[in-house]
Amino acid sequence: MSTPAVEAVGLVKEFERGRRTFWQRLRREPDQRERFRAVDGIDLHVDRGEIFGVLGPNGAGKTTTMKMLATLLEPSAGTAKILGLDVVRQAREVRRRMGAVLSDGRSLYWKLTARENLEYFAALYHVPHAEARARIAAALDAVKLDDRSDDYVERFSTGMRQRLVLARALLPDPELLLLDEPTVGLDPQSARDLRDRVRDLQSQGRTVLLTTHYMEEADQLCDRIAIVDHGRIVALDTPAGLKRTIAATEVVRLEIASGNGEAALLSRLERAGSVAHHERDDGVLSVTVHCRSARDFVPAAFDAAHAEGATISHVEVVPVTLEDVFLSLTGRALRE
C-alpha cells in the first residue's frame, strides 16, 4: 500500500495577537499577548491521485494549513507528512517533490519573460540542466502559455500570471500540488481555464490539494472535500456525500415583506420545512429553507405568510449545494 500524498494529524498553528515592545523584551517581562489558533487540530488524509479540496470562508485557516504543508510555517503542534516525508524534519526533501501555488502573480518577476522566470526557478528546483529546457516547454504547454513564453510578465493578464505560477509549480515534476485559492481574483473564463488545467494534472496521475472558498469550484473539481471553519474540519466527504448530510433535496429561498410577526412566521415555516438561515435587511426578511419537496413547501409558505399578514415577494428553488451544507453545519454562509 502506498503512503498517502498528505497526512496530517492534530495540526495546530497558534499566533500571537497584539505586540510586545522592545522594552518589554529587554526587561524580560512575561509575554502577555493573546494567542489564537488559526488552525486547531486538523487531521487530513489525502490519497494519491485525488483532487482534495479544503473549503471554508476567509479566515478559516485554509492558507495557514497550506503554508504548514508547504514548509513555510512551522506547526505549533501536530505532525504533517507529504509523500511520507515530515514537513519539519525533512523540509528540503518535501520541497523537492512538491509544487505549490500559494500566491498570486506578484510572486513572479515582472521584468523577466515567462521563460526567464521558469529558467530561474528550474535551477532553484534543481532540475538537471539537460532536462530544464524540455521541462520548461512542457510546463508552458500545460498551462497554454507556450505562445507567450518570451513576453515580459508585466504584459500578462492576471489569469495568465496565475497560469504561469502554476507552470512554475510544475517544474519539479511534482507528485503533489498544493494550490491555495488558485482562481481567486480571476474572471470566470480564466477561472474555468485554470480548473481545466487542474483536471489535466489529475489525469497525469498527480495529486492536487487545493483550498477555495468557491463552493462551485470545490463541487466541480474535487473528489473529496474537507469543510473547515475556525481552524477545524467540520465535515469531510465526497461532494455528493456532503450534500446527503442535509435531510433535504431542494432549497427554497424566500424574500418576505413582513411586519411584526417574524417569529410566528418563522415558526410556521419551520413546520413545513427546515429553516437553515434567516436575516432581515432593509425591511425584507430573507429565509433559506431546506425541504424534501419545493412543490409541497412553497404553497405552505404562502399560506403561512398570509396567516401572519406578510407578503412573499420572491421565491427561488435551487438544488442543495455545498453552501447549504456549510450553512447547516455552521449557521453561517460561506461568504460571511
Q: Interface with other proteins by CB under 8 A: which residues?
A: 15-16, 64, 67, 70-74, 76, 92-93, 95-96, 100, 102-104, 106-109, 111-112, 116, 119-126, 128-129, 168
3-class SS of residue 276? strand
Name which of 11 and 301 has its Cβ closer to other proteins.
11
For the bound state, the minimum distance from the C-beta of residue 118 to other proteins, rounded and expressed in Å, comes to 11
Residue whose CB is less far from other proteins, 111 or 306: 111
Least gap, CB of 180 to other proteins (angstroms)? 11
CB of 9 to other proteins, least distance (A): 20
| Min dist. Cβ of residue 111 to other proteins (A) | 5
Gap between the Cα atoms of 39 and 116, Å rounded: 37
**Least distance in angstroms from the C-beta of 120 to other proteins:** 4
Strands lying side by side in the sheet with 34-46: 34-46, 6-17, 77-82, 85-86
69 vs 301 by CB, closer to other proteins: 69
Which CB atom, from 93 or from 255, has the smaller least distance to other proteins?
A: 93
- Closer of 180 and 229 to other proteins (Cβ): 180
Minimum CB distance to other proteins, residue 329 (Å) = 27
Q: Is 209 exposed, middle or buried (0-12, 13-18, 19+ CB in 10 A)?
A: buried
Nearer to other proteins, 15 or 302 (CB): 15
Sheet strand arrangement including 98-101: 98-101, 176-180, 207-212, 51-55, 224-229, 232-237
Residues in the chain: 336
Integer CA distances (angstroms), 193 to 20, 59, 68, 163, 223, in order:
46, 26, 28, 9, 19
Q: Are strands 207-212 and 51-55 parallel, antiparallel or unpaired?
A: parallel
Query: Within the chain, how many helices (H) and strands (E) appear?
Result: 12, 14
Contact 309, 259 (CB under 8 A): yes
